[in-house]
Each structure stands twice: as C-alpha cells, then as structure tokens.
Structure 1
C-alpha cells in the first residue's frame, strides 16, 4: 500500500515546483521535454533550459502549461492552510454538455491509469458507476437516470426509458472511462447499503411507469445481479476483472472492505509515490477535484481509518465475504419478487 508523505516539496523555486508538479502527473509513456516543447511551440533545447530554470517561464507560458495539465495555483504558490482550490466537472441542464462531462472524466481516469504505481481508493456509498458500464443495459439506465431525474435535462423530461434513449457516443465514452478504472489497481470500501441506490432507482421508475417496456425493470434487476456477481468474483480473486470476467494480461490488484460503521460518500483518491488527487462528489453525480497536498493527505488518513474499522473480504475471510454478498443477493431477490407481483 502506498504511503503519502506529510510535506510537499520545499526549497524549490516556483518554476521548479511547476515542472515538478507536471512531472508528477505525467504518464510514464510521455516525455516531459517533448510535451513542454510541443505545448509552448519551442525547441527541445529551449524546453530543457526552462526545465533547468536557466530561462524563466513567462506568465503566458505558465498559463498554457497549467491549463493543459490541470494544475491549480495552490499547487505552485503557497496558500493559507485552510484554502483549497478545486476544479469541477459537472453535468449541466443541457444534454449537449453531457458529452463534455464524459470526455473530461475519460481524460482524468486515463491520466490516473498512466501514472506509475497509482492506486485508486473508493469509499462507495453507491456502486461505483464504472461497474454499470460493463453491463450496457444497466449503464444506459444509469446515464438516463442522471439526465432525466437528477439533472432534469429538458430533452428527457417527457421521455420514458428505453435502451435506445442513450446515444452510442455516450456509451463509448462511458466504456472508455470504465476501462481506465479497471486497469488501475484499487481499494473499494462497501457497506450493505451500497447496492440500494441502483435498486431504488429501478423500482422508482417501475412504480412511476417511466419504462417504455414493462419487461425492462426485471431485465435491469437481472443485470444488477450479474454486476454483484462480478464484484463477488473480483473479491475472491483479489483482481479487477475485465468485461469477460477474466483477469487482465497483467494482474490488476483489487481489495474490497466491508464497512459496517459509516454510510460512505463516494470519495475517490488516486495516489502514487509523488502524486495524489481527490474527487469529491456533490449534487449526487458531479465532482470537485484537487491535488492540494494537505487535503489529499487528510482524505488518505480518513480512508485509512475507515479501512481499519472495516473487514477485508477480498481473497481472505471467505465466510464474511459470502455473508456480505448473500445479503445483497437476497435484497435483489426481494425487489425482483415485488416487481413481479406488481406486473
């Protein structure tokens, strides 16, 4: 498990701090010098001189670099301890912006995947949405629910859900996000309420008559059961699994904890040897993100405390693992039975 240091880099010039921050978040397959040269439209020799602080970076150049690499000012310029600068990515009330939200999410999770030795921690109040996209009918329902019920996008106001409601572009972007997540080693903390959000959403649409076909809700419940079985198998093997429920060519570590104490909050922490980033959820599905060192360390400590108060049920604790998942299967069974009786 990666350790988070308690102090940011010190005794560095602002220019060196800028390039150190860029380097920390740069994928191992990319060359820092070439990236800087391409972005600033300068030669590699000129880029080297800036990296060595022999040539000062202009304000305009710094702005270009910060914008491209998503670096906030508080990562470079010391701020009051209480101040944290966040970047947001959210779904607005216009359907056209949803693709932008998905693209930004894809770029973010792909960037995290490419960082060497990066570990993803997820405090799961709800099923991590990435799992839904492995089961297309369920993924389409989740996207539709966000647009219609959570964000109230006008184009979806009077539209019942069908599998044709979601454009192919949305699913392609969502699948790309999911692929990056499942190729990043991770720790997830679940509790017995984690599956209830999706179940309640399906049941709400069922009762409200918001499905175009009455057979859809039961099909979605079946898909949800398959999703839980997939997570169950990951917990047994201790590996993240691909769409075919088989391990990746290079095993991707997976740890699952059962927390009986708290209702979690869908916070996500990505952490590597010299880099960390936090996603904090708000408005149900929108996120604020920051790489503020002190804030990330605070989140890391909170996650460690929750893990200490939880039971590790991946690879070990077979009895506890089966007990945990059997409760989820039974809950799904009861919702299925209730919907069958109401048809």
Structure 2
C-alpha cells in the first residue's frame, strides 16, 4: 500500500497521539515493526513509504483508521469494536480491556473522563462485595448466556476470584481518575429492575440476597453522595464533578480527554463498545457533552439543596424496592 507523504505523516501523527508522552515514536515503531531505529526515522520523515503490512500492524496496535484519512469528508467515521462472547473476546478479556482503557489515562498530567450515565457507572459496583458479583453474574447469565451460568441461581461464590480482583482493580483506577459524571433521576432504575426481576423469578440462591443488594445499593449511593459533597475521591487532585440532567435520556457515552487527545466510547448491545479517536467525531462528542453539562445542574461541591433532594429521591427508590421484596 502506497501512502502519499501527507497521508503517511497524518497517519503516523495519529499513531503518535496514542503514545504516552514518555515513549519515543521511533523506538515504538522499531519494536512493533521489527525494523531498525534508522528505518523508523526514515518512515517518520516520509523518506520510506509504509508497506500495507506495516499499516495494518499499526492500525491493529493503535486503533488508527486509514479510512478517516482517505475519506474526502468527515461524514464517515471508523470505529474499533469487540463483541463479547464465550470463545474469543470472553468476559474476563472484556474486564481487562476496561482496565487497560482506564490505565491509558494514567501517564497524562492533563486528563479527564466525561460519563453521560444511563446507569450508575459500572465501575462503582465493583467496590461492593455483593453488588459486584451480582452484576457480573447478571451479564454472564442474562446477557452473554454463558453455559456455566445458565439454570443456576445467583450466588457470589459462583464468580471466580480473578474476576473479582479485576473488578477491584478497575474500581481503584476509576476512583483515581478526574471525572465528570452526568446523572438523571432514571440512573438508578436499570439495576433496581435487575434486582427486582431476579427476586420475583426466584433467581437468588438465598432469598435474602435481594434485600442485601438493596442495602449495599443504599450504602453505595450514600458514599457517592459524600464524594459529591466535597468534589473529590481519595485526594484533592482526583476531582469529581457530578451533574443532574433533566433534559435528555442518557446513553452511557464516555469521552476521554488526554491533553489534546480525545477518545470516544459508545456502548451498544449492553456490553459491546464502539471506540473511535477520529478527531471531528470526538470533537463533536465533546461539544455535545459540554453543552449538556452547561444545561445541567451541578450537584457536587455546590448546590447542596439540589444534591440533597436528588440523592434523597434515589435512596427512597431503593428503600421502596427493599420494602416490597423484604
């Protein structure tokens, strides 16, 4: 494949933007393409044209799209996607990919995550001893239809320890990430419906699990409420801004901002994720989220009355479910 000098430069520029600041572009190309550093520099300067195999290797490694460079307009967007299944991209690999995505933010001094939440961000559940295993079981049983989780009632003992450990690592990394979350009054409902469904269908190995999950849910919401009141989790540097949105139905869109780099994540079919770094699309997503933030109510650090009203309503929803199933 022959790339013109301008296209090759643009392509390698996209690769460079995906590298942490402390890594050398030439060193990475040398290692990944199995070429000398001098050969890597010749490709960076445009003196040597990248081969088709080299372009494919770099695309697969960094998720860069050649289509976006060749397209005459910004109307075509290329996404990287992985479908979670029981053979190739298994649930444990999905968890590892979530952790890897969060760790991508770590090297950057200027970073932020924006999460437009249809459900409470999944990362929070992994900090709860029963809720974390329940969500994992729900996904593997009701969404992925994994064979080992069919026709058996939920018990936390069914979830392998390595998955619990991965969840804990994900939670820790997320809790350390500066972030903006946009919630609505519907944000609790997804998990509440899942708990009620499992209770009504007799899918709990112990009937008390439903009430225990409600108690953990209340504790989780109260903990998030306390973080929102001070605006950070764990340290002052890890700023946490929470907004209440009354305008639009959330869709779990996630945007990573790393200096001048942007990555957009769009979940679909519950667990599968579309990912793109195409600049026009990411910029449009950022503009959309910023506009949404400007039309939402900040309920962290300030807005004590709105924050109290919002979280009181959320806790009351959980209490009502606990009373129905207790």
Q: Same fold (TM over 0.5)?
A: yes
Counterpart contact for 1:117–1:272, Cα < 8 Å: yes
Shift of 1:174: 2.5
Shift of 1:143: 0.9
Partner of 1:273: 259
Distance 2:251 2:49 in 1: 43
Partner of 1:3: none
Counterpart contact for 1:94–1:154, Cα < 8 Å: no
Given the two structures, how large is their TM-score scaled by the length of structure 2?
A: 0.92
Partner of 2:281: 295
Distance 1:93 1:63 in 2: 27
Distance 2:262 2:115 in 1: 14
Is the aligned partner of 1:103 residue 2:89? no
Is the aligned partner of 1:285 residue 2:271? yes
Shift of 1:95: 9.2
Partner of 2:297: 311
Distance 2:210 2:119 in 1: 19
Matches within 5 A, 1:176-255: 176-239=169-232, 241=233, 247-248=234-235, 251-255=237-241
Shift of 1:155: 2.2
Distance 1:42 1:95 in 2: 30
Q: Runs of 5+ in structure 1 lacking a partner?
A: 1-10, 242-246
Distance 1:58 1:96 in 2: 29
Q: Runs of 5+ in structure 2 lacking a partner?
A: none
Is the aligned partner of 1:260 residue 2:261? no
Cα 1:46–1:12, aligned 2, differ >3 Å: closer, same or farther? closer
Partner of 2:33: 40
Cα 1:38–1:318, aligned 2, differ >3 Å: closer, same or farther? same
Q: How many residues align?
A: 323
Matches within 5 A, 1:48-87: 48-87=41-80
Cα 1:297–1:63, aligned 2, differ >3 Å: closer, same or farther? same
Distance 1:64 1:284 in 2: 29
**Secondary structure in 1 matching 2:40:** helix
Cα 1:14–1:177, aligned 2, differ >3 Å: closer, same or farther? farther
Distance 1:282 1:79 in 2: 28
Which of the numbers 109, 132, 141 marks the counterpart of 1:148?
Answer: 141
RMSD: 2.1
Distance 1:169 1:206 in 2: 27
Which of the numbers 300, 303, 310 marks the counterpart of 1:324?
Answer: 310
Q: What is the CA deviation profile of residues 114-151 of structure 1, one whole-angstrom value per residue up to 9, with x for unaligned ones?
A: 34422211110100000001113211111111111122
Partner of 1:123: 116
Distance 1:182 1:50 in 2: 40
**Secondary structure in 2 matching 1:232:** helix
Distance 2:19 2:8 in 1: 17
Cα 1:12–1:125, aligned 2, differ >3 Å: closer, same or farther? farther
Shift of 1:51: 2.1
User: More displaced, 312-321 or 294-303?
Assistant: 294-303
